[in-house]
Amino acid sequence: MNKIINFLQISGLTWFVPFVRMAAGENPKTQAKDLWMIMGIPIVAFIIFLMLWAQLSSKVVTSLGTVPGPSDVYKQSTLLWQDHKDQRAKEDAFYERQEKRNAKYAEQGRDEKIKWREFTGSPTYIDQIFTSIKTVFMGFIIATLIAVPLGIFCGLSPTVNAAFNPIIQIFKPVSPLAWLPIVTMVVSATYATSDDAWFSKSFLNSAITVTLCSLWPTLINTAVGVASIDKDLMNVGKVLQLNWYTKVTKLVLPSSLPLIFTGLRLSLGVGWMVLIAAEMLAQNPGLGKFVWDEFQNGSSQSLSKIMVAVLTIGFIGFLLDRIMYTLQNLFTFSDKR
């Protein structure tokens, strides 16, 4: 049982701990109290929030009708899901037809008639979610690959740190919207796309914008983590006459890992926030574009669709943070384990 609880705590799913304890036959009274604190109160608060939302939203009237309440949003989300399923069904049917047709041509020996086409349906809401997630991870990984090594250099050498500090301070507060035009121009100038290119331009534009904005938390936290390693711990390495590479991999990295992960968590959060704005402008087929298109569309359903997107964005952001938190607990030492 302790193993299960340990896992739940590592992954931050502490809500379920009282259930496990209760199932294992621990005092139900104290567990019920815990449960009330961990689950009961948040649920009650959420219900109150939904009620307030339902009440107040109907009072705000816009040119596209009233602001959607919870029920509109729920209805819209089922519609979007239905749309996704319909599109998938269409796609499957398309490929099935194509395969049959081509098989028939092949049988008749008319090979010149065989054509393989891609399905050209518009991306569904679910597709857009996955594009967004792919984009943010792409940008985040590039940012990590730059920020962690650079942070280690900054942390190890006061000279390097002094050199980079002003640059970091200046670029850290820059909004993604300011970067995007430059990134767009640079990408279109240097990245020649053809139809079978790995990434589309709009994807790269948003990913690189994410990189530029999510670089800083990791960079700063890594530098601080490395610089604040116990001096005597470094001396242990000196006494053993470790070379530079061994020192970094065996001593510096593991001891600064907790702070590096803190930085990574912040970076992913920033990246996800920035992504939506970047996608809106870069027209990368993700959640940001979805919101923008619905805004331009201006139908009576647009506001509730956007509201679905808002909640999705929030929920995925939360999920990403949980994933990072779990990874952090798995890969770093802590006093709790």
Partner 1 sequence: MTTLNLPSYLDQTDQVKKRFDALKKRDVILDVKKISKKFDSPQGEVEAIKEISFQTHKREFVCVIGPSGCGKSTLIRMLAGLETPSGGEVLLDGKPVSGPGPDRGMVFQGYTLFPWLTVKRNVMFGLEMSGRSKKNAESEARDWIDLVGLSKFENAYPHQLSGGMKQRVAIARALANRPRILLMDEPFGALDAQTRTKMQSNLLDIWKNIDITILFITHDLDEAIFLADRILVLKAHPGEVNEVIEVPVPHPRSPEQMITPEFLATKKRLEELIHEPEEDVPMNLTLMTDKSDSVD
- What residues line the site for partner 1 (CB under 8 A)? 230, 232-233, 235-236, 238-242, 246, 250-251, 254-255, 257, 332-333, 335, 337
Of 304, 278, 279, 303, residue with least CA distance to 289: 279
* Residue 318 identity: F
* Through-space distance between the first and last CA atoms of the chain, rounded to whole angstroms: 15
Of residues 104 and 337, the one with the C-beta less far from partner 1: 337
Of residues 237 and 269, the one with the C-beta less far from partner 1: 237
* 132 to 76, 135, 322, 323: CA distances (angstroms): 20, 5, 18, 17
* Least Cβ distance, residue 256 to partner 1 (angstroms): 11
* Least Cβ distance, residue 251 to partner 1 (angstroms): 8
Give residue 179's Cα distance to chain centre.
Answer: 20
Of residues 256 and 312, the one with the C-beta less far from partner 1: 256
* Least Cβ distance, residue 242 to partner 1 (angstroms): 6
3-state secondary structure (DSSP) of residue 25: coil
Of residues 248 and 311, the one with the C-beta less far from partner 1: 248
What is the 8-class DSSP label of residue 198? Answer: S
* Least Cβ distance, residue 246 to partner 1 (angstroms): 7
Of residues 229 and 287, the one with the C-beta less far from partner 1: 229
* Least Cβ distance, residue 232 to partner 1 (angstroms): 4
Of residues 2 and 63, the one with the C-beta less far from partner 1: 2
* Least Cβ distance, residue 2 to partner 1 (angstroms): 15
Helix (H) or strand (E) holding 65: strand 65-66
Give just the sign of the alpha carbon dihedral 320, 326, 328, 330: negative
**Dihedrals phi, psi of 65, to nearest 5 degrees:** 95, -170
Is residue 267 within 8 Å of residue 217, measured between CB atoms?
yes
